[in-house]
């Protein structure tokens, strides 16, 4: 196997020492040069009989209030990962015990003057040490020295160096305390040393744990917008409790697995140089746990039998977790066992209760992966991991779980499944239902800690009509991946009689396959490039035969298949069924949210907002089809194109759906029996805000410019051209303007939103309002020197003429006032056009869509 050197690997460290005048001298030689000094500084002089000593990675000695590390010579130049976490935080901080503050890789190195340097290591570039270019890599990278420790004494029998760490641990430094940015977020100034202290230092064979209390002086700020922590206001200082884990990284890094964009793994990378290159390579490798067969099972593994790993992945449940939820969290962890079986391992991952009264275990100890339970009003959970930066090996994870997440789960399930599951029709769910909701989220977050990214495209592999088919759901579930944001099956209708267990996500086809791709083993002697080719062929063979194995990314591009919170392969069909269920739920909300007679309507308000948000999701799932681009990453050996536009007929179906469900007032959602209890008449309804957001989205410069580029590239395929799209949209908003035309308040708001956004397209600097102005400014770069602004001007002039032509024959006063207002708004931007022959282009009759938005 090739040996690589980089900016923090062993060869480079030696070279760095050479630059300080130590060329050709080992650490032992330096010690001999200082033998006289060492004799005068005897070991017993510092480590007295009163010393409390604990042996481990570093032997730790406490003499009164002074702490010493005894560092073995064998640890010099070894990479050590330092993970800093909160233990206790002040009220209002927004962070909780167990959350990570920072992680860094360090190296202890023997210095030239009887001292030990602590360097912060960074892996930016590397080269094969046998290549000449490795000298250039070394010469171009030097790691910073964060601290220099005097060697108080040497223990020749143990070959160790004694350094005092008290002042360093108690000081304010970027390795062990908050960063400048974090202090700024908390409005903290300098560290108050007299109010800070070392609470405890424990050491174990592979790690040393430091626990400190840090007190910071609060910043003196008079800015009202900068909210200070309550402790800062009351006492002028803020106190935190922090844990620093020093974890020895493996001497032999795990074998890397090279990254493939078609499989959703988190990854790290560095630049790689070589003598035979003609351009610099980026070495990118995925994050994964080190799973290896036990030596006695190696032959079984080679025969394809399931074997247990030498070191299984174990997640402990925080003892602060309510006991009723622990079995469901453990089950959510254990659900991944079936995926690892596809990679050849059984019992590879397990959830366990935290052992009670074990002095050798600490929740902050980086040897243990823990699901930490936070007493927090936040509605969230997250799944991070700590990674060896040299290889991508996941070393441990502290999953964050917020108590109030249950509130979010309740609201999601009520508005998505309340029409088909009677258990969801109340403000407090039974233990089994809430437990299964917790189980699903636990599985999702554990997936992240295994290295998996979100796969927002997974749900698009399920045909929309199959979401109502119990047999299909039994076999496949409603999404192919638990790593999607495909919460619950909102498409299922009451008459489908879908069993409730088929309404929730579970480990799917993609999850099992992704674990197989990332965790299956290859012979150690196989070159990484050969392994990469085999894995690439595995992707081609698997995904081409099963679209349920497709990785759709995080939903950050313009692909409507890859969206959050959506289901199925047809947003128009899925959203239609979703809205039908919301229409069933809305009349029941007052009954479902009923509490005691003394309760106010806060429950009703909360659930109604959740229902409106769900409705908004359905609308925007459809909207993304317009101007959308299917993005399917491929390699040179695959057939088909990476980028394809959404077909024209699909985009027109999306527009017809929007006309029915948002351009026309959704009166079923604007219920007075609800609004009169939760909302003042003078407030703007959430539904109106959704409509205005949709219009801003539909007439965004980015979307129209994208449609322009698509029309140019795919000219021979009859694309949905921006001029045709604007004409279609124009007809839906204005097509019913005739002699007896009469608008309602909702329609007038819709038309005002249309005109203001069309003006922003033509002249971004004319955009009204903060949000509109910001979005117009963002769109300005997209539309400059394109046909978009020309089309916007043409549309405004045509609309102006249409209004002038229609006004004289209208009779409804509010409608006349409304149109006069819009006419003046347009005139202020384009001027008053005279002798114009307005041409209003009707909706093309070849749109081939129905009013219900279905094909």
In a domain? residue 382: yes
CA 639, 644, 648, 651 torsion-angle sign: positive
Greatest alpha-carbon pair distance for the chain in Å reads 109
Task: Write phi, then psi, for 489 (nearest 5 degrees).
Answer: -75, 90
Domain count, the chain: 3
Please indicate, yes or no, whether residues 76 and 145 belong to a single structural domain of this protein. Answer: yes
The answer to whether residues 226 and 299 belong to one domain is: no
The structure tokens 């005092």 sit at 164
Q: Sign of dihedral through CA atoms 805, 811, 815, 821?
A: positive
Residue 122: closest CA among 139, 136, 142: 142
pTM of the model: 0.86
* H-state helical runs in 546-638: 571-585, 589-592, 602-623
Q: Are 609 and 689 in contact (CB under 8 A)?
A: no
CB 287 within 8 A of CB 478: no
The pLDDT value given to residue 708: 93
Cα separation, 346 vs 291, whole angstroms: 11
Say if 602 falls within a structural domain.
yes
Q: Which of 271, 247, 14 is nearest to 142 (CA)?
A: 14
How far apart CA 484 and CA 277 sit, in angstroms, is 39
How many Cα atoms sit within 13 Å of 679 on the Cβ side? 18
- Give the chain's radius of gyration (CA, Å): 32
Question: With a cut of 70, which residues of the chain have pLDDT below it?
Answer: 1-41, 123-142, 221-227, 273-280, 739-740, 766-781, 833-855
CA atoms of 216 and 453, how far apart (whole Å): 37
Q: Which of 116, 31, 18, 20 is nearest to 76 (CA)?
A: 116
The answer as to whether 667 is a domain residue is: no
**Domain-terminating residue out of 248, 264, 287:** 248
Element (H, E) at 14: helix 10-17
Which run of H or E residues covers position 349?
Answer: strand 349-353
Does 465 lie in the same domain as 334?
yes
**Are 507 and 375 in the same domain?**
yes
Query: Which of 215, 248, 281 is the C-terminal boundary of a domain?
Result: 248
Q: Are residues 241 and 311 in the same domain?
A: no
Q: Do residues 596 and 729 both lie within one domain?
A: no
Q: Under DSSP, is residue 626 helix (H, G, I), strand (E, B) or coil?
A: coil
Strands (E) in 388-466, as ranges, are: 394-396, 398-402
Domain of residue 360 covers: 295-617
Nearest 5°: phi and psi at 357? 60, 35
For residue 389, being part of any structural domain is answered with: yes
Check whether residue 147 and residue 235 sit in a common domain: yes
Do residue 219 and residue 323 come from a single domain?
no
Query: What is the DSSP secondary-structure string of 234-262?
Result: HHSEEEEEEEEEEEEPPSSPPPP-B--TT
Cβ distance 441 to 332 under 8 Å? Answer: yes
Within-domain flag for 665: no
Same domain, 543 and 688: no
In a domain, 622, yes or no: no
Q: Does residue 542 share a domain with residue 418?
A: yes
Pairing state of beta strands 643-645 and 629-631?
antiparallel
Using alpha carbons, select from 648, 771, 778, 631 the residue that is nearest to residue 700.
Answer: 778
The DSSP string of 792-849 is: HHHHHHHHHHHHHHHGGG---HHHHHHHHHHHHHHHHHH----S-----PPPPTT---
Distance CA 840, CA 702 (A): 25
Beta bridge partners of 284: 269
The residue among 193, 222, 248 that closes a domain is 248
Give the list of residues 6+ apart from residue 845 with CB closer than 8 angstroms, or none.
none
3-state helix, strand, coil split of the chain in percent (to 5) is: 40, 20, 40
pLDDT the model gives residue 103: 87
Q: Please give the full DSSP string across 125-158, using - where no structure is assigned.
A: EEEETTSTHHHHHHHT----EEEEEEEEEEETTT
**411: its two tokens:** 């609201």
Q: Judge if 412 and 543 occupy the same domain.
A: yes
Q: How many CA atoms lie within 13 A of 537 on its CB side?
A: 5
Residues 167 and 50 in one domain: yes
What are residue 115's phi and psi, to 5 degrees? -140, 170
Tell whether 634 is covered by a domain: no
Residue 852 in any domain: the answer is: no
């Amino acid at each position: 196997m090739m040996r690589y050197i980089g900016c923090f690997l062993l060869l480079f460290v030696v070279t760095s020492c050479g630059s300080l005048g130590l060329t050709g001298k080992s650490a032992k030689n330096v010690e001999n040069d200082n033998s006289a000094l060492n004799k005068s500084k005897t070991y017993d002089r510092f480590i007295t009989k009163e010393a409390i000593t604990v042996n481990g990675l570093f032997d730790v000695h406490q003499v009164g209030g002074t702490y010493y590390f005894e560092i073995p010579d064998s640890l010099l130049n070894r990479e050590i990962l330092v993970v800093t976490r909160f233990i206790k935080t002040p009220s209002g901080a927004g962070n909780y015990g167990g959350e990570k503050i920072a992680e860094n890789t360090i190296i202890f190195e023997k210095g030239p003057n009887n001292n030990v340097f602590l360097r912060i290591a960074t892996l930016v570039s590397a080269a094969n040490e046998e290549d000449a270019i490795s000298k250039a890599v070394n010469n171009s990278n030097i790691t910073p020295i964060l601290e220099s420790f005097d060697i108080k004494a040497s223990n020749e029998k143990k070959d160790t160096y004694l350094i005092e760490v008290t002042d360093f641990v108690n000081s304010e430094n970027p390795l062990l305390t908050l960063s400048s940015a974090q202090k700024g977020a908390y409005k903290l100034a300098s560290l108050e040393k007299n109010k800070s202290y070392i609470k405890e230092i424990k050491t174990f064979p592979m790690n040393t744990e430091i626990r400190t209390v840090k007190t910071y002086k609060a910043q003196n700020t008079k800015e009202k917008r900068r909210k200070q922590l309550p402790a800062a206001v009351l006492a002028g200082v803020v106190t935190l409790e922090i844990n620093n884990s020093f974890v020895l990284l493996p001497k032999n890094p795990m074998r890397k697995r090279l990254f493939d964009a078609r499989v959703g793994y988190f990854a790290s990378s560095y630049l790689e140089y070589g003598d035979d290159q003609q351009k610099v390579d980026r070495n990118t490798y995925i994050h994964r746990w080190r799973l290896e067969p036990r030596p006695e099972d190696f032959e079984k593994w080679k025969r394809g039998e399931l074997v247990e790993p030498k070191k299984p992945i174990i997640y402990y449940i925080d003892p602060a977790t309510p006991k009723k939820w622990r079995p469901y969290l453990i089950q959510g962890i254990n659900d991944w066992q079936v995926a690892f079986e596809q990679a050849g391992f059984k019992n590879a991952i397990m959830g366990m209760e935290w052992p009670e009264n074990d002095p050798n275990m600490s929740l902050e100890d980086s040897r243990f992966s823990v699901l930490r339970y936070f007493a927090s009003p936040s509605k969230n959970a997250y799944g991070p991991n700590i990674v060896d930066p040299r290889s991508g090996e996941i070393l441990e994870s502290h999953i964050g779980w917020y108590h109030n997440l249950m509130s979010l789960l309740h609201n999601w399930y009520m508005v998505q499944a309340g029409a088909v599951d009677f258990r969801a029709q109340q403000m407090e769910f039974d233990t089994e239902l809430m437990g299964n909701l917790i189980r699903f989220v636990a599985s999702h977050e554990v997936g992240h800690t295994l290295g998996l990214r979100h796969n927002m495209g997974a749900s698009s592999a399920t045909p929309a009509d199959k979401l109502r088919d119990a047999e299909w759901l039994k076999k496949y579930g409603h999404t192919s991946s638990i790593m999607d944001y495909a919460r619950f099956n909102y498409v299922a209708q009451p008459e489908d009689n879908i069993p409730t267990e088929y309404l929730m996500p579970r480990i799917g086809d993609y999850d099992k396959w992704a674990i197989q791709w990332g965790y299956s083993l290859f012979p150690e002697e196989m070159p990484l490039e050969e392994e990469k080719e085999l894995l690439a062929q595995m992707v081609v063979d698997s995904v081409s035969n099963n679209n349920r194995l497709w990785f759709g990314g995080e939903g950050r591009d313009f692909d409507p298949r890859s969206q959050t919170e959506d289901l199925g392969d047809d947003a128009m069909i899925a959203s239609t069924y979703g809205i039908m269920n919301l229409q069933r739920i809305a009349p029941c909300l007052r009954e479902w949210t009923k509490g005691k007679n003394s309760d106010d309507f806060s429950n009703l308000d909360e659930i109604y907002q959740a229902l409106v948000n769900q409705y908004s999701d359905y609308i925007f799932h459809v909207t993304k089809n317009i101007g959308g681009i299917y993005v399917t990453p491929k390699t040179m050996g695959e057939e088909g194109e990476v980028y394809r536009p959404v077909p024209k007929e699909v985009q027109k179906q999306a527009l017809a759906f929007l006309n029915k469900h948002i351009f026309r007032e959704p009166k079923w959602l604007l219920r007075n029996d609800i609004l009169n209890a939760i909302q003042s008449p003078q407030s703007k309804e959430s539904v109106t805000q959704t409509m205005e957001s949709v219009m801003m989205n539909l007439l965004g410069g980015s979307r129209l410019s994208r449609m322009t580029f698509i029309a140019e590239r795919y000219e021979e395929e009859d694309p949905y051209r921006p001029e045709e799209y604007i004409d279609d949209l124009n007809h839906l908003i204005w097509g019913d303007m005739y002699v007896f035309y009469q608008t309602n308040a909702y329609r007038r708001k819709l038309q005002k939103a249309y005109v203001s956004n069309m003006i922003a397209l033509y002249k971004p600097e004319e955009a009204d309002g903060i949000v509109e102005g910001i979005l117009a400014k963002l769109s300005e770069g997209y539309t400059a020197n394109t046909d978009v602004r020309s089309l916007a001007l043409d549309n405004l002039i045509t609309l102006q003429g249409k209004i002038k032509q229609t006004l004289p024959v209208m009779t409804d006063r509010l409608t006349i006032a409304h149109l006069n207002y819009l006419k003046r708004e347009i005139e202020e931007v384009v001027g008053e056009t005279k002798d114009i022959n307005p041409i209003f282009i009707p909706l093309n009759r070849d749109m081939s869509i129905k009013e219900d938005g279905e094909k």
